[in-house]
Amino acid sequence: MTAVTMDAKTSSISIFTGRIAHVRAWAYLGMIAGLAAMAMFSGDGYVEDNFVFQMFSMQGVTWMAGGAVFGVAYAFATSARKFRAFRFSEILVPWLDGAVLMVALMGLYTLFEPSEAMISYEDQSNLFSGRIVMTMNIAFLFSALCYIAYLFAPDSFIGKLGTITAWTGVYAGGSALLLRWYESYLLMGGDIGHAPVSNLYEVFILLFCIISVVYLTLESRHKARGLGAFVMPIVAAGIFFAIWLESIGQSDIKPLVPALQSYWMKIHVPLNFVGYGSFAVACGAGMAWLVRNRVENRNPDSKLLAILPSLKQLDQLSYKAVAIGFPAFTLATILGAAWAAEAWGGYWSWDPKETWALIVWLVYGAYLHARFSHGLQGKTLAWWCVIGFVVTIFCFVGVNMYLSGLHSYGQLT
């Protein structure tokens, strides 16, 4: 009863709030459950190389629709409850919308894929994903420029432009990766198809998208647009590195070595990058804190101060980012250990990559404790976030370049 009148009262009906969001979220969840059920119980079972195609077949659509019906039924059964109970759905539904949009974009791109004769393993320059990645690069670079310009010329239009182009970059990057996944099945008769998280070039794209999504989420929740000038340049720097990787031929789709042919890879790698990406945002907030602190001391009436969030807010934002990254990184490391247990015979081998993951984890663990200890605050914590990210970068690029070990698949050659 309350819910209905509440909805009626808010003059504009939004598909992102209230009962509509609730029904949509559960329809999505039902579809996901339907797909999971198809993988487990349908006649052919789960064949990895085939599953994407099965999803879009009549069978897949039937399972998804069935799931969606159950989801909607559940949503109606529970929607008599008070409107506050919809918060879960309201948080969830934009994410699922975004994911669906990305898949749809990917489907759209496949129409532009050049004919089979123009695609070969030997010469991958015609693949369409390359162009989408280029779009992503331009979007992110432009976004970084907008955010920096916004700091000095506090025009809200420029700031908005930064946000919009950052989102554009996220959708371009995410859908390009999905397309690359599809393309890997076009090469060599589908022999080498695999998820696009197998080499440094691919995970870099993933990292850009995750950094941006974590940042943009914090931006919209906390109205902290000034922070973009510190986070997006990190992405921009990464893009130059990725362009260099491409120029030395690291962007080719290559077959997976046997050790990587495991479903663990699809979970372990993206989760790790949720960690890395969040730590990058924490680093951005740390840098912003240090800059603002300096400006406040030297030039208290600078215009910058109106744009940048307050010191307390920045401190909170960097903690928030670590609070997203730390559990994800912990879980990723544990899953990595589970994979190692299955592939190498031991969950922990003190291999350089593992050890550096532990080091990163300890650095942020110590950071969390330092927050609770009175002697350390403000400046120390901001520096801790910045240095922590330097350690993170070493863990994720440096180890591959300078140290050898079991994780040498990512090696630059």
Partner 1 sequence: MSFINQTFKPILNRLGSMPVAILLLVLLAVASVIGTVLQQNKEQADYLFQFGPTWYWTFRALGLFDMYHTWWFMTILGLLMFSLSACLIRNTPRFLKEMKSRKGTMSDNARKHIDYKFDLTFGSKDKAIAAIKSSLPDWKWMETKVGDTLWLRGDKGRFQKWGYILVHSAMLVILIGGGMSVQFGFRGNMAVPEGGKESEISFLNGTSTEYLKMPFEIRCDDFEINFFSTGAPSEFRSTLTIIEDGKEVMTSDIIVNEPLYYKGVRIYQASFGDGGSKVNLNLFRLTKKGNVDTATGQIYTQFQDPYSDVSLEFKDFRPYNIENMAAAGEPKDFKDMGPSVDFVIRGEGLTPVLVRSFMNPFMMDDANQGSFIMVSKTGDARDFESYSLGLDFSNPKEWELFQSFIRKMPAEVASSQEAEQRANLNAFRAALDEVYGEVRPDDLPMLGNRVIQALRVLPDMPWPFVPILEDYDQTYYTGLQLAKDPGMDVVWIGSGVLVLGLCIMFYIAHRKVWIKIEEEDGEVKLEVTGMSNRNPVAFEQEFEDLEQQIKDAYEQGVSS
Task: List contacts with ligand HEM (CB under 6 A).
Answer: 365, 368-369, 372
For 101, 112, 295, the CA distances from 108, given in Å and listed in that order, are 10, 8, 48
Letters for 252-281 (x = contact with partner 1 by CB under 8 A, - = none) are --xx-xxx-xx-x-----------------
CB of 47 to partner 1, least distance (A): 16
d(CA 278, CA 200): 18
Binding to partner 1 by residue 6, rule CB under 8 A? Answer: yes
Letters for 184-223 (x = contact with partner 1 by CB under 8 A, - = none) are ----x--xx----------------------------xx-
**Within a 10 A sphere around the Cβ of 44, how many other Cβ atoms?**
11
Interhelix angle 228-247/129-152, rounded to 10 degrees, is: 150
For residue 255, the partner it binds in ligand HEM, partner 1, none, with Cβ less than 5 to 8 A by kind, is partner 1
CB of 292 to partner 1, least distance (A): 17
Handedness of CA 389, 280, 100, 179 (dihedral sign): negative
Letters for 91-120 (x = contact with partner 1 by CB under 8 A, - = none) are -----------------------------x
d(CA 109, CA 107): 5
- Phi, psi at 114, each rounded to 5°: -65, 165
Binding to partner 1 by residue 352, rule CB under 8 A? Answer: yes
Closer Cβ to ligand HEM, 104 or 368, answer by number: 368
Classify the phi-psi angles of 378: left when phi > 0, otherwise alpha if psi is within -120 to 50, otherwise beta.
left
- Integer distance in angstroms from the first to the last C-alpha of the chain? 65
**48: number of CA atoms within 13 Å, CB side?**
13
For residue 316, the partner it binds in ligand HEM, partner 1, none, with Cβ less than 5 to 8 A by kind, is partner 1
CB of 394 to partner 1, least distance (A): 10
Chain positions 320 to 339 lying near partner 1, rule: CB under 8 A, are 320, 323, 326-327, 330-331, 334, 337-338
Chain positions 8 to 27 lying near partner 1, rule: CB under 8 A, are 9
Which region among 49-57, 104-112, 229-237, 318-326 touches partner 1 (by CB under 8 A)? 318-326
Chain positions 58 to 97 lying near partner 1, rule: CB under 8 A, are 81-82, 84-85
Which region among 15-23, 146-154, 234-242, 360-368 touches partner 1 (by CB under 8 A)? 360-368
For residue 153, the partner it binds in ligand HEM, partner 1, none, with Cβ less than 5 to 8 A by kind, is none
Closer Cβ to ligand HEM, 368 or 390, answer by number: 368
Closer Cβ to ligand HEM, 201 or 276, answer by number: 276
For residue 48, the partner it binds in ligand HEM, partner 1, none, with Cβ less than 5 to 8 A by kind, is none
Residues in contact with partner 1 by the rule CB under 8 A: 1-2, 5-6, 9, 81-82, 84-85, 120-123, 188, 191-192, 221-222, 254-255, 257-259, 261-262, 264, 313, 316, 320, 323, 326-327, 330-331, 334, 337-338, 341-348, 350, 352, 355-356, 358-359, 362-363, 365-366, 369-370, 372-373, 375, 399, 403-405
